[in-house]
């Protein structure tokens, strides 16, 4: 579901996605404006469905659902659902759409606020977060050169409880979007007590909470990144067996500074491809596009969420 139908990049991406049979895109917006804009840009939308909130036969039903769920008046619900973003999210809530791709013309704060209002978080998760899929050609680390980095765009300094939830949400993303068996490393500048500091204590506590709250989660920490990724280093630095150390494919950074710096360094210095940020922790698949996203970026994001939606059966709980 693409609620930013007034953006030419979204129209072009929808046309590509439909033409290449990647997914069945749903554009939400004013029908006449979408048709006029697509013609002006020379974009073929004959295979793309356009849903106009104002004329949708589901509008009043959505109003009833929203009013019932949120305890609001019908008047408030009607005003909210006339907006394409809100209407599109409600399509996903009801199952009329499988996923949301937004952010090309809205800020991250707007995308997240709408998701909080309309969709809500998965059971057992206290905060939304995000991840980047990092694909490094020629690398053997992670999952054949691919790694999930989280959180790299939403939470500046998560508390241990929130960091544990980010780990669980990232594992679900790895499983549902990529088909991986996630091995989650809680990163620090210390490995198993090699350093003593309150910042290390935070990661140790987050790891403890994650193991207790999500007993099926394969997670270990605190680990330095080389101990998380390199088997030989893990053998030297750890005295006990670990199902994660040296084999991690999901990296959880202790704060936004570390995560954001890391993904950009790997992208620039190692020539990695960075796909994202993809929002996670919500009860439905959602992506937050960069406002600088290209058409190719949008098509790639739609493809990733299409795979995730097919596997979507989140089991996060506590």
pLDDT of 307 strictly over 60 = yes
**pLDDT band for position 92 (cuts 50, 70, 90):** very high
Q: Which residue has the tokens 């499988």?
A: 98
Do residues 104 and 202 both lie within one domain?
no
pTM of the model: 0.84
Q: Which domain-ending residue is among 120, 152, 186?
A: 120
Which residues contact residue 200 at a Cβ distance below 8 angstroms, ignoring those fewer than 6 apart?
188, 189, 190, 222
Give the confidence band of 312 by pLDDT, cuts at 50, 70, 90: low
- Whether 316 is covered by a domain: the verdict is no
Of 193, 245, 142, the C-alpha closest to 236 is: 245
Residue 280 located in a structural domain? no
CATH number for the domain spanning 258: value is: 3.40.50.10750
Same structural domain, 12 and 44: yes
Regarding whether 144 and 48 lie in a shared domain, the answer is no
- Span 106-133, average pLDDT: 90
Range of the domain at 87: 8-120
92 and 147 share a domain? no
Q: CATH code at 24?
A: 3.40.50.10950
Where b means 16+ CB within 10 Å and e means fewer, 181-200 reads ebbbbbbbebbbeeeeeeeb
Question: Are residue 84 and residue 112 in the same domain, yes or no?
Answer: yes
Pair (264, 235) in one structural domain: yes
- Report d(CA 244, CA 214) in Å as an integer: 16
Residue 3 lies in a domain: no
Does residue 292 surpass a pLDDT of 90? Answer: no
Query: What pLDDT shows up at residue 277?
Result: 83
> How many structural domains is the chain composed of?
2
Grade residue 26 by pLDDT with cuts at 50, 70 and 90.
Answer: very high
Residue 84 pLDDT level (bands cut at 50, 70, 90): very high
Question: Residue 299 domain-assigned?
Answer: no
Mean pLDDT check: name the lowest of 15-24, 52-61, 95-104, 289-298.
289-298
Q: What is the pLDDT of residues 239-291, one digit of tens each?
A: 899 999 999 999 999 999 999 999 999 999 999 988 878 899 998 888 888 88
Is pLDDT of 314 > 80? no
> Do 106 and 225 belong to one domain?
no
**258 falls within a domain:** yes
Q: Tokens 């198993």 belong to which residue?
A: 192
pLDDT by residue (tens digit) across 47-62? Answer: 999 999 989 999 999 9
* 264 within some domain: yes
Residue whose token pair is 């929808």: 14
Residues 58 and 133 reside in one and the same domain? no
Asked if residue 1 is part of any domain, the answer here is: no
Q: Is residue 160 located within the same domain as residue 252?
A: yes
Q: Are residues 195 and 223 in the same domain?
A: yes
Within 13 A of 67's CA, how many CA atoms are on the CB side? 13
What does the pLDDT look like over 211-240, one tens digit per residue? 999 999 999 999 999 999 999 999 999 989
Mean pLDDT over all residues of the chain?
92
Q: Is residue 60 part of a domain?
A: yes
138 plus 267 within the same structural domain: yes
pLDDT at 190: 96
Categorize the per-residue pLDDT at 293 as very low, low, confident or very high, splitting at 50, 70 and 90: confident
List CB contacts of 120: < 8 A, sequence separation 6 or more: 282, 283
Residues 111 and 202 reside in one and the same domain:
no
């Amino acid at each position: 579901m693409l609620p930013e139908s007034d953006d030419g990049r979204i129209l072009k991406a929808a046309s590509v996605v439909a033409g290449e049979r990647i997914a069945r895109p749903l554009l939400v917006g004013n029908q006449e404006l979408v048709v006029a804009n697509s013609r002006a840009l020379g974009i073929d939308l004959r295979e793309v469905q356009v849903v106009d909130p104002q004329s949708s036969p589901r509008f009043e039903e959505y109003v009833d659902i929203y009013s019932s769920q949120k305890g609001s008046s019908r008047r408030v619900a009607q005003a909210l659902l006339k907006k394409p973003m809100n209407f599109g999210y409600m399509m996903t809530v009801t199952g009329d759409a499988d996923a949301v791709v937004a952010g090309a013309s809205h800020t991250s704060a707007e995308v997240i606020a709408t998701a909080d209002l309309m969709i809500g978080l998965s059971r057992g998760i206290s905060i939304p977060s995000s991840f980047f899929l990092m694909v490094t050609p020629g690398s053997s680390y992670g999952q054949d050169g691919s790694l999930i980095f989280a959180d790299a765009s939403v939470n500046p300094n998560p508390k241990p409880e929130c960091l544990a939830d980010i780990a669980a949400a990232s594992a679900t993303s790895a499983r549902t979007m990529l088909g991986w068996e996630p091995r989650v490393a809680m990163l620090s500048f210390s490995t198993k007590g090699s350093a003593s500091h309150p910042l290390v204590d935070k990661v140790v506590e987050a790891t403890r909470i994650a193991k207790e709250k999500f007993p099926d989660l394969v997670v270990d920490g605190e680990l330095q990144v080389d101990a998380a990724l390199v088997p030989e280093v893990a053998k030297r630095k750890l005295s006990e067996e670990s199902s994660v150390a040296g084999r991690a494919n999901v990296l959880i950074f202790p704060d936004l500074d570390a995560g954001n710096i890391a993904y950009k360094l790997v992208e620039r210095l190692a020539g990695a491809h960075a796909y994202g940020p993809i929002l996670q922790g919500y009860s439905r698949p959602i992506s937050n596009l960069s406002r600088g996203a290209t058409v190719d970026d949008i098509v790639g994001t739609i493809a990733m969420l299409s795979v995730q939606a097919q596997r979507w059966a989140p089991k996060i709980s506590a």
